[in-house]
A = this chain, B = another copy of it.
Amino acid sequence: MINLFEKKIKEYEPLKDAILIEGLPGIGHVGRIAAEHLISEFNGEKVMEIYCNDFPPQVNVNSDGSVEFMNNEIYLIKEPIPMIVISGNTQSLSPAGQYEVSKRLIELGIEYGATKTYTLGGLGVGQIPNQDLKVYVASTSSEIAEQHKEYGVEFREDNGSILGAAGLMLMFSKLNDIEATCLMAETIGYVVDPKAATNVLNVLSKALNFEMDFTKLEQRAAEVEKLLEKVQLTQEEAEMPEDNDDLSYFG
């Protein structure tokens, strides 16, 4: 059985007409970087940690000798608009865990005042492209998806799927009678990709009509691009570890 352990960090007053935003780890860590940038820029306040017996059975070691637990976290943001941001360092390992955690996160989001959901993620393109990376949209209704076209997003034509929380939280939003939209930024996929995160946040900020500073993300993206140029030159680091997890900048 999937067991969730919820640890309240802070008492809260539910927000009003808030947007639930999911950014858990996935391809290129796009969603996670975007969520952490939102939390950092808008002073998100952590209100809950969620532990699950279907997360990887481990702890991570920090360089200061402390350990980091595997969990998902809920942050509340009041300005510029009310947001409930879900981030974390992991997703469930099994289908049942994926379903149960996504279901619970939507329930919690609604309790915290969410009336609409956005899930953020990457769409792997496998190689360094010559052109601008696109952002795709998929929604719980085609009307909602259509409305996003003015923000520069496209529809996918691959008959593909959205895996994990980014997909299932659309489903559980709809089953709980709230609309939900997934924004997927094209990404090379095998490195942490702050550029794709910038692209996704760019669309999100237009759709939700708020402004935000991308300076830190752009600095980070510039660093990664330098790295990628080296990769193209040498091709030697092409098989870098997938779980490159150095997100300390975004903490």
Interface positions of A (Cβ within 8 A of B): 1-3, 5, 7, 51, 53-67, 69, 92-96, 98-100, 102-103, 137-142, 145-146, 148, 155-164, 167-168, 170-171, 174-175, 182, 245-246
Neighbouring B residues of A5 by C-beta, 8 Å: 175
Residues B58 and A161 in contact, CB atoms below 8 Å apart: yes
Inter-chain CA distance A170–B61, complex, in Å, is 11
**Complex Cα spacing A167 to B59, Å:** 5
| Contact call B60/A159, Cβ cutoff below 8 A | yes
**Bound complex: CA of A51 vs CA of B100, how far in Å?**
12
Chain A interface, DSSP helix/strand/loop, else mixed: mixed
Which residues on the B side are within 8 Å of A159 (C-beta)? 60-61, 63, 245-246
The contact of A58 among B66, B164, B246, by CB within 8 Å, is: B164
Of the A-B pairs whose beta carbons lie under 8 Å apart in the complex, a sample of 7, sorted by A's number, is: A1-B96, A5-B175, A57-B167, A58-B162, A63-B155, A65-B138, A67-B139
In the bound complex, what is the Cα–Cα distance between A62 and B171 (angstroms)?
A: 14
Check if B96 sits within 8 Å of A2, measured CB to CB: yes
**Hey, which chain B residues are within 8 Å of A53, CB to CB?**
2, 95-96, 98-100, 103
- Bound together, the chains give a CA A62 to CA B155 distance in angstroms of 9
Q: Are B62 and A142 in contact (CB under 8 A)?
A: yes
Extra contacts, 10 of them, besides A61-B138, A61-B158 (Cβ < 8 A), are: A5-B175, A53-B98, A57-B95, A57-B98, A58-B163, A58-B167, A58-B168, A60-B161, A65-B139, A66-B140
Provide the bound-state CA to CA distance between A60 and B171, in Å: 10
Q: In the complex, what residues of B have CB within 8 A of residue A162's CB?
A: 58-59, 61, 67
Please measure, in the bound complex, the distance between the C-alpha atom of A139 and the C-alpha atom of B182, giving whole angstroms. Answer: 38
Best-surrounded residue of A5, A54, A59, A158 (most CB of chain B within 10 A): A59
